[in-house]
Structure 1
């Protein structure tokens, strides 16, 4: 039986299928799963008839800002993020060490005590950022990088470009404050 769909119905159905396929458990999926999901989606649409598989969005895939299939960053993007995060970890590690030395040098003067307090505040902030960068590198290793830890949806490429150690998509980050 062939089902005839309007272009709008075909786009809606394609989006629903892609969203449903992206909701499959990620634990059993490899990085290449995106291609398999897309192929399955297109096969299902083809079974519905020629009108369903056609349309401007057919095969749009990862060119979108946030891939509808739930596919994370490409291998090349991951390599770039890994390099940026590794460089940031090295830089932050050096800053943390320098701040530890500065914060722990007793001066005995009021000005020195204020400087020590400022150095301690900076030290805690840098340690927190270093922990986030290290956690992002761990997410790359586990295959969880680029997915929001709150909702599971992809973190936009623009957000990762600005903040490569982002744990949350912009919506969840705003909701958290």
Structure 2
């Protein structure tokens, strides 16, 4: 399996700023065998009550539940195999896209990617580096409206992943020179990361 996992989540297709920045980063990586998963192009099921029951396993699962459990296992295997993870997380209505949240819900599994101890939860995925590319229509970095940065840092830490680098491109909806400058700054940041 590839040691680099790329997760795209924008619903904007070719017009996606986060997708363009992710492609810019991919082009500079010295990695011939990338695992790219476009969560918008091939959406994952939204977790419901029956799905939550499926992720706990057991012998009384129906075919649909067994399929969901197998899908979760596959996503977790991809995550475990990766040493380097790139997550495109554009801001939609102040949070991550539903497509990315669906992936998160399928990889956060007690006893598999984290466990409960008498001291609280403990992440089981370690020795991984994550780059989160987050684009926003407005200006939200370092403000109370930026829910993505603390959420992604928390959820990744919950899984045991603490080496996380955020790359921001803001003002995408504001156009003009601000948009261009933000994209150029993000590209430069990604180029520096790819060189290391």
TM over 0.5: no
Bigger helix share: 1
Rg (Cα) greater in structure: 1
Q: TM-score scaled by structure 2?
A: 0.24
Q: TM-score scaled by structure 1?
A: 0.26
Bigger strand share: 2
Q: Which has the higher contact order (CA 8 A, sep 6+)?
A: 2
